[in-house]
Amino acid sequence: MRYFKNLIEQLINPAGITIGGTNAWDVQVHDERLYQRIINGGSLGLGESYMDGWWDCCALDQFFYRLLSIDTDKRLGKNLALLWGLLMARLFNQQTPKKATEVGLKHYDAGNTMFELMLDKYMMYSCGYWNDASTLDEAQEKKLDLICRKLQLEPGQRVLDIGCGWGGFARYAAEKYGVNVTGITISKEQAALARERCQNFPVEIRLQDYRDIDQKFDRIVSIGMFEHVGYKNYHRFMQVASRSLTDEGIFLLHCIGCRESGVRTDPWIHKYIFPNGLIPSVIQVSKAINNYFILEDWHNFGEYYDLTLMAWLKRFREAWPQIKQNYSEEFYRMWNYYLNLCAASFRARKNELWQLVLTKPQRQTMYMSVR
């Protein structure tokens, strides 16, 4: 055990992290088997051992930020589980219509009550826009209005929301801008609540895969859904969006991005949070849109995701006494781990948040960028 502990200490000491230390970001170990489990399992072993209660840390976000800032994942190297996952991702399409539903079942169907308590009043499960905003509600409303202005919405337009979640954008756009919205999702729980929340507005919510869309819209928006498409389907996604958009239409894509092109996500995130997902790179997105759209605007405000995730974490912890009878302690530790890890990834600039405004080559009207 001492040998494995020495290896771990060599990895984390450059980040200023000490095992058994007194700083908020230091690790407190409860089971000495932890060290070998991390060496054998990499990020999956680290996450699962936290869920099992083998270790704790007072400030997980700071712990992860320090590790990510020195590229600890690369220092640790690729274990066999990760190598197998990379091989599977290259050989097989992880986002076929059948596989695409897995994330809905595993993540988005975790319980509407939990998400209602954790998210803002519009239930937006994506990065807020914290420019001149001091609360989560303000940040999400500013994000929604920014998107509507970028889309140049006008009353009576037909808008498609790909990956509509709980209908937050659909309701906001219909109420504030007088448009007719069709929202699609692969989560039954989301669809049910979205219909309830949008019932008094010109909004249709469908339980539908994006590949099955077969009609034209004046505007298209996709907020936080492209991360579930998978690199083998990027071109198909853009093809569907292009054929579904009128020639004078506008398409806004809001998604997480990363600096490096990959074909598989982190093993722990894949297993417990977002099955079969993948964060795209600039190169992957650029290649996908090349044959279908003109890039009018590319806006990055990834640092706002750190603020958003920490706000969700605070609300999740505050809500836990109300919902814990429906979940296990392992679930609580899993979500605590997930939200802290993701916040740190944006703080360390490992991930970014992009809004792309896209139009078809046939469009005749000049587009003016909005901030």
Give the distance, in angstroms, between the CA of residue 210 and the centroid of all CA atoms in the same chain. 18
Predicted confidence (pLDDT) at residue 140 exceeds the cutoff of 90 = yes
| Range in 80-84, 196-200, 366-370 the model is least confident about | 80-84
CB 61 within 8 A of CB 338: no
pLDDT at 260: 87
Local confidence band at 80 (pLDDT 50, 70, 90 cut-offs): very low
Local confidence band at 265 (pLDDT 50, 70, 90 cut-offs): confident
| Range in 116-125, 259-268, 306-315 the model is least confident about | 259-268
Predicted confidence (pLDDT) at residue 110 exceeds the cutoff of 70 = no
pLDDT at 3: 83
pLDDT at 101: 52
Distance CA 304, CA 302 (A): 5
Number of Cβ atoms within 10 Å of the Cβ of 199: 11
Predicted confidence (pLDDT) at residue 237 exceeds the cutoff of 90 = yes
Distance CA 357, CA 198 (A): 26
Local confidence band at 82 (pLDDT 50, 70, 90 cut-offs): very low
The mean per-residue pLDDT over the stretch 327-351 comes to 97
Distance CA 247, CA 300 (A): 26
Strand partners, 222: 253
- Residue % of the chain over a pLDDT of 70: 89
Mark whether 57 is an active-site residue: no
Predicted confidence (pLDDT) at residue 86 exceeds the cutoff of 60 = no
The mean per-residue pLDDT over the stretch 223-235 comes to 94
**Closest Cα partner for 153 from 164, 144, 141?**
144
pLDDT at 264: 76
On the CB side of 20, how many CA atoms lie within 13 Å of its CA? 6
Distance CA 7, CA 35 (A): 8
Predicted confidence (pLDDT) at residue 247 exceeds the cutoff of 80 = yes
Domain extents in the chain: 2-77, 96-359
Predicted confidence (pLDDT) at residue 288 exceeds the cutoff of 90 = yes
pTM comes to 0.90
Distance CA 36, CA 38 (A): 5
| Per-residue pLDDT reduced to its tens digit, 50-75 | 999 999 999 999 999 999 998 765 55
pLDDT at 84: 44
On the CB side of 329, how many CA atoms lie within 13 Å of its CA? 3
Distance CA 330, CA 345 (A): 22
Residue 219 corresponds to which tokens in the numbers above?
């505007």
CB 21 within 8 A of CB 63: no
Which letter, b or e, does each residue of 7-46 get, where b requires 16 or more Cβ atoms within 10 Å of its Cβ? ebeebbeebebebeeeeebbbebeeeebbbbbbebbbbbb
**Closest Cα partner for 14 from 54, 66, 73?**
66
| Per-residue pLDDT reduced to its tens digit, 113-132 | 999 999 999 999 999 999 99
- Residue % of the chain over a pLDDT of 90: 80
Predicted confidence (pLDDT) at residue 46 exceeds the cutoff of 80 = yes
Local confidence band at 261 (pLDDT 50, 70, 90 cut-offs): confident
| CATH code, 96-359 | 3.40.50.150
The mean per-residue pLDDT over the stretch 265-270 comes to 90
Query: Which of 57, 148, 258, 342 is an active site residue?
Result: 342
pLDDT at 263: 76
pLDDT at 306: 98
Residue 363 corresponds to which tokens in the numbers above?
């469009």
Which letter, b or e, does each residue of 123-161 get, where b requires 16 or more Cβ atoms within 10 Å of its Cβ? bbbbbbbbeebeebbbbbbbbbebbbebbbbeeebbbbb
pLDDT at 177: 98
pLDDT at 236: 97
Q: What is the DSSP string of 286-334?
A: HHHHTTT-EEEEEEE-THHHHHHHHHHHHHHHHHHHHHGGGS-HHHHHH
Predicted confidence (pLDDT) at residue 102 exceeds the cutoff of 60 = no
The mean per-residue pLDDT over the stretch 321-338 comes to 96
pLDDT at 19: 97
pLDDT at 217: 98
The mean per-residue pLDDT over the stretch 82-101 comes to 49
